Chain A
Amino acid sequence: MSTLDRFEIHEHDVLVIGAGGAGLRAAIEASASGASVGLVCKSLLGKAHTVMAEGGVAAAVANVDKQDNWQTHYKDTIKGGKFLNNWRMAQLHAQESPERVLELERWGALFDRTQDGKILQRPFGGHSYKRLCHVGDRTGLEMIRTLQDRGVHLGINVYMECTITKLLKDDGKISGAFGYWRENGRFVIFKAKSIILATGGVGKAYKVTSNSWEYTADGQVLAYHAGAEFLDTEFIQFHPTGMIWPPGVIGILVTEAVRGEGGILTNREGFRFMQKYDPERMELSTRDVVARAIYTENKEGRGTPHGGAFLDISHKGADYIKKKLPSMYHQFKELADVDITTGPMEVGPTCHYSMGGLRVDAETTSTSVPGLFACGEVAAGLHGANRLGGNSLSDLLVFGRRAGVHAAEYSKKNSTLRKINEQDLQQAEKEMTRFFENEGENPYMVHQDLQELMHNYVGIFRTEDDLKYAIENLKKLKDRAKTVKIDGSRMYNPGWHMAYDLQSMILYSEAIAKCAIQRKESRGAHSRIDYPNTDPECGKWNSIVKKSSDGEMIVEKMQLTEMPQDLKKLFEEKELIKK
């Protein structure tokens, strides 16, 4: 009997790993073009991060501010990203997002309306015009439900609560994926002609985070081991407004829509401190600026009782708040005993989004591994050094669709399923079962130490010494993670799942720290205390991370591709020089 016969096997033209907005949009597109599509996710369908998105999806449909257009959206995205963005991705994103949002509406999504019956848009940080199409503060729910319903009716095969732990290749090309069912811990193999990774971010490596247990850099690391490259991993977005009190809710997001709707930030002295940091845009400055401002106010002793800032929207009146920010109202009322219609919230920075991730081709979303595509938060390039709010949901739609188109096309061209290598399977199996033979510690303890380390040494503000310290300690954590001990069976065993997740989180954390050392300047979400200025020379390259043939992590610089003249013309001379 060959090794293969021992496993449950499924076959698809296109396998999509991840069922958030990006994965669902990709699956819909691939399926619509006639491919047989499998969609795998770690949670139940509809529970991915996308469901939590609140404030809105950015698209220049110009329903509210007629002057808006793709060019302005493009400019805002590039300026927000401090010119490190892949210009072509930013262009495609700005051009295609209006159509993608309207398409959602045609599939049944119900956005809030303007007086004349069109999709309503709200202002958000870094966007020149009112641009975020939204549904109160539950835009992600609307989006994921719409996509989910569209997807199931197209006949996509959904494999819920299934975690992929290895990508399989044959002759250098993608041939499938290996994973386990959460329910019973059995292993499963997916044979596929192409694979789309849409697995999201890495926030669970940090102590204070708005991210769920799913955000453990799985997709990034799966692809890394398969030969793909990371791009710009040093850029981790700290959202300026997370909840900070009581302890149980620390890190939970307070949507930027609060500021979009007119929320005001003050320090303990009642001073509207954004006047100091960005007098022009104030609360609607970009996230990197606002997060650093709150941090600095605290460091200089002007923080609020629990170490943050006050955010007040109560002047808008109870009715308005309950209509436009209903879940924020409930969240504070129920979890913090604060009535935001009568008083301020207390907020502080929380790890939120990863701008870095897999390097992909702008047009097709393909990685450097033939047959492997990536879209959504797991991919990098669009957001540069800092993402604007609302640009993620639009990213998912635009590049999700593109991934679907191109993966399906690739599968058509490479029309036979490739071989699954028996040795790879044995190794994949061993990597998962070995934990039961270990004698080390509880995986949750290693996770806790990782979160502390990343929070304290690779957080909002960085220094060379801290980063070196982090890298040293990540090595130790890596060794500890290898020996963690798992009790119980393979049946729905979160400890076992954590043991695997740790390996990915630690590897990716190492990439974050190493790129952070390499970038000796401050830019966007990457702030170095020892290099506080933006260095134009550093604006000429992106960070690249890859695995050498002997398994070592290589960190390099890659020349940025020059923006074409017609796009350059959109910027003023001084903006281009400042970069």
Chain B
Amino acid sequence: MTSCTLKKEERSEHYCESHSSMKIATFKVFRGDINGGAEVEYKVPVEEGMVVLDAIHYVQKNISPDLAVRWNCKAAKCGSCSAEVNGKPRLMCKSRLDDFDLSKEIRVYPMKSFPVIKDLACDVSWNFEVNKKIAPFTPKPDTDWKMSQRDIDRVQEFRKCIECFACQNVCHVIREHDLKPKFAGPRFFVRVAGLEMHPLDTADRLEALKDDMGIGFCNITKCCTEVCPEDIHITDNAIIPLKERVVDRFYDPLKMFFRKIWGK
């Protein structure tokens, strides 16, 4: 494959030809829908720098045009291409083939915690429903909108979230216990943290965190943090501080007393 934008006849050969080794990788991809399915094996020629999503696209183009997969940016920016590669939730566009042992098969499955639609696409609509219930940004009435970078650094960390839902997928409260209606999941604790710690926000989401979003179900296993492709410290920076706020509010009698006197 050649890379540059010159026309073929304009290129000096020396510069543009790559030497693609004809290595072959074996993929086992889940093909099926809500009624079941099976692994299908695909052999894909390996190119330098190739990622799992490239391999899936190769299959789509050359073998099975009806293979369902989501993607948009191919650069780890949109969070569309999450899947379980060899059992681990990852962005396919960020999973380099050189990180795998190509003498073994690479298994690609849809995220397990959400109902499969077809092949690698699953139904993540529940997440969008959760988001709707979070009280929106509510600024102070007479602010001059000045904020220091230092004060927003930590909030900007939360706002890096690309909604890949890998954290939702891996969290055992959702994955094993399927407490979906009662538990909002790490993605939305990150979102709430971004609002609660916004220097100019005034809304109060603590009661909702405790009751509707079930933050108490989280037992700080940190599995979510481990899979976040944006390296957001979900547990340490978002969940634990939120949990502390909830505890202070609802379970600490002394603080409750002072709060009554001083307000929020």
Q: Which A residues are closer than 8 A to B by beta carbons?
A: 43-49, 51-52, 102, 105-108, 110, 112-113, 116-118, 135-136, 138, 141-142, 145, 149-150, 152-153, 158, 160, 183, 208, 212-214, 238, 244-250, 252-253, 295, 298-299, 301, 303-308, 327, 330-331, 334-337, 348-350, 442-445, 448, 455-456, 459-460, 486-489, 491-496, 498
Q: Indicate if B128 sits at the interface (CB-CB under 8 A).
A: yes
Residues of B with C-beta under 8 A to A335: 49, 51, 75, 94, 96
Instruction: Tell me the bound Cα distance from A486 to B146 in angstroms.
Output: 56
Q: Indicate if B213 sits at the interface (CB-CB under 8 A).
A: no
Asked whether B65 lies within 8 Å of A307 as measured between CB atoms, the reply is: no
Asked whether A43 lies within 8 Å of B72 as measured between CB atoms, the reply is: yes
Asked whether B65 lies within 8 Å of A442 as measured between CB atoms, the reply is: yes
Q: Choose one: B5, B15, B131, B149; the contact of A149 (CB below 8 Å).
A: B131
Instruction: Tell me the bound Cα distance from A364 to B152 in angstroms.
Output: 37
Smallest Cβ-Cβ distance to B2: which chain A residue? A307
Instruction: Tell me the bound Cα distance from A308 to B7 in angstroms.
Output: 13
* Stretch from B117-125, B171-179, B215-223, B241-249 that touches the partner: B117-125
Q: Indicate if B139 sits at the interface (CB-CB under 8 A).
A: yes
Residues of A with C-beta under 8 A to B136: 108, 149-150, 153
Q: Indicate if B180 sits at the interface (CB-CB under 8 A).
A: no
Residues of B with C-beta under 8 A to A106: 139, 145
Q: Indicate if B16 sits at the interface (CB-CB under 8 A).
A: yes
Asked whether A248 lies within 8 Å of B47 as measured between CB atoms, the reply is: yes
Distance in angstroms from B257 CB to nearest chain A CB is 32
B125-173 at interface with A (beta carbon < 8 Å): 125, 128, 131-132, 136-137, 139, 145-149, 152, 155-156, 159-160, 162-163
Residues of A with C-beta under 8 A to B6: 295, 298-299, 307
Asked whether A44 lies within 8 Å of B80 as measured between CB atoms, the reply is: yes
Asked whether B66 lies within 8 Å of A494 as measured between CB atoms, the reply is: yes
Interface band, chain B: 35 or more
Instruction: Tell me the bound Cα distance from A304 to B15 in angstroms.
Output: 7
Instruction: Tell me the bound Cα distance from A522 to B64 in angstroms.
Output: 43
Smallest Cβ-Cβ distance to B9: which chain A residue? A456
Asked whether B119 lies within 8 Å of A303 as measured between CB atoms, the reply is: no
Instruction: Tell me the bound Cα distance from A249 to B163 in angstroms.
Output: 22
Asked whether B61 lies within 8 Å of A44 as measured between CB atoms, the reply is: no
Q: Choose one: A102, A108, A248, A460; the contact of B51 (CB below 8 Å).
A: A248
Q: Per DSSP, are chain B's interface residues mostly helix, strand or loop, or mixed?
A: loop
Asked whether A349 lies within 8 Å of B5 as measured between CB atoms, the reply is: yes
Asked whether B117 lies within 8 Å of A492 as measured between CB atoms, the reply is: yes
Q: Choose one: B5, B75, B124; the contact of A455 (CB below 8 Å).
A: B5
Given the contacts A106-B145, A459-B5, A491 and B118 also touching, CB distance less than 8 Å: yes
Residues of B with C-beta under 8 A to A49: 72
Asked whether B78 lies within 8 Å of A47 as measured between CB atoms, the reply is: yes
Asked whether A334 lies within 8 Å of B76 as measured between CB atoms, the reply is: yes
Instruction: Tell me the bound Cα distance from A110 to B11 in angstroms.
Output: 45
Asked whether B152 lies within 8 Å of A113 as measured between CB atoms, the reply is: yes
Q: Indicate if B256 sits at the interface (CB-CB under 8 A).
A: no
Residues of A with C-beta under 8 A to B103: none
Q: Indicate if B84 sits at the interface (CB-CB under 8 A).
A: no
Instruction: Tell me the bound Cα distance from A489 to B5 in angstroms.
Output: 37
Asked whether A52 lies within 8 Å of B73 as measured between CB atoms, the reply is: yes
Distance in angstroms from B81 CB to nearest chain A CB is 10
Q: Choose one: A112, A305, A331, A496; the contact of B149 (CB below 8 Å).
A: A112
Asked whether A252 lies within 8 Å of B74 as measured between CB atoms, the reply is: yes
Smallest Cβ-Cβ distance to A208: which chain B residue? B5
Smallest Cβ-Cβ distance to A499: which chain B residue? B65
- Pick 15 A–B contacts, CB within 8 A, sort by A: A47-B72, A113-B147, A152-B131, A212-B73, A213-B72, A247-B1, A247-B48, A305-B15, A330-B76, A334-B76, A334-B94, A459-B7, A488-B66, A494-B60, A494-B67
Residues of A with C-beta under 8 A to B86: none
Q: Indicate if B206 sits at the interface (CB-CB under 8 A).
A: no
Q: Which of B61, B62, B132 has the most CB of A within 10 A?
A: B61
Instruction: Tell me the bound Cα distance from A102 to B162 in angstroms.
Output: 23
Instruction: Tell me the bound Cα distance from A496 to B118 in angstroms.
Output: 14
Asked whether A52 lies within 8 Å of B94 as measured between CB atoms, the reply is: no
Distance in angstroms from B111 CB to nearest chain A CB is 13
Q: Choose one: B2, B65, B146; the contact of A498 (CB below 8 Å).
A: B65
Given the contacts A334-B94, A492-B121, A295 and B5 also touching, CB distance less than 8 Å: yes
Given the contacts A150-B136, A246-B47, A213 and B73 also touching, CB distance less than 8 Å: no
Asked whether A496 lies within 8 Å of B77 as measured between CB atoms, the reply is: no
B4-24 at interface with A (beta carbon < 8 Å): 4-8, 10-12, 15-16, 18, 20
Asked whether A145 lies within 8 Å of B159 as measured between CB atoms, the reply is: yes
B53-89 at interface with A (beta carbon < 8 Å): 54, 60-62, 65-80
Instruction: Tell me the bound Cα distance from A491 to B31 in angstroms.
Output: 13
Instruction: Tell me the bound Cα distance from A542 to B28 in angstroms.
Output: 53
Asked whether B75 lies within 8 Å of A331 as measured between CB atoms, the reply is: yes
Given the contacts A51-B78, A141-B77, A214-B72, A117 and B147 also touching, CB distance less than 8 Å: yes
Instruction: Tell me the bound Cα distance from A406 to B39 in angstroms.
Output: 51
Distance in angstroms from B27 CB to nearest chain A CB is 15
Given the contacts A247-B47, A248-B50, A493-B66, A105 and B145 also touching, CB distance less than 8 Å: yes
Distance in angstroms from A210 CB to nearest chain B CB is 9
Distance in angstroms from A135 CB to nearest chain B CB is 7
Asked whether A108 lies within 8 Å of B50 as measured between CB atoms, the reply is: no
Given the contacts A44-B80, A141-B160, A305-B15, A494 and B3 also touching, CB distance less than 8 Å: no
Distance in angstroms from A522 CB to nearest chain B CB is 17
Asked whether B76 lies within 8 Å of A331 as measured between CB atoms, the reply is: yes
Distance in angstroms from A323 CB to nearest chain B CB is 10
Instruction: Kindly supply a per-residue 1/0 record for chain B positions 40-53, scoring 1 wherever the CB is within 8 Å of any chain A CB and 0 otherwise.
Output: 00000001111100
Instruction: Tell me the bound Cα distance from A185 to B54 in angstroms.
Output: 25
Instruction: Tell me the bound Cα distance from A535 to B150 in angstroms.
Output: 52
Q: Which of B20, B77, B80, B160 has the most CB of A within 10 A?
A: B77
Residues of B with C-beta under 8 A to A138: 77, 160
Name 16 extra pairs, CB < 8 A, besides A246-B50, A486-B66, A488-B66: A44-B124, A47-B79, A108-B198, A117-B147, A138-B77, A142-B159, A149-B131, A160-B125, A247-B3, A298-B4, A307-B5, A442-B61, A443-B65, A445-B61, A459-B7, A491-B68
Residues of A with C-beta under 8 A to B119: 492
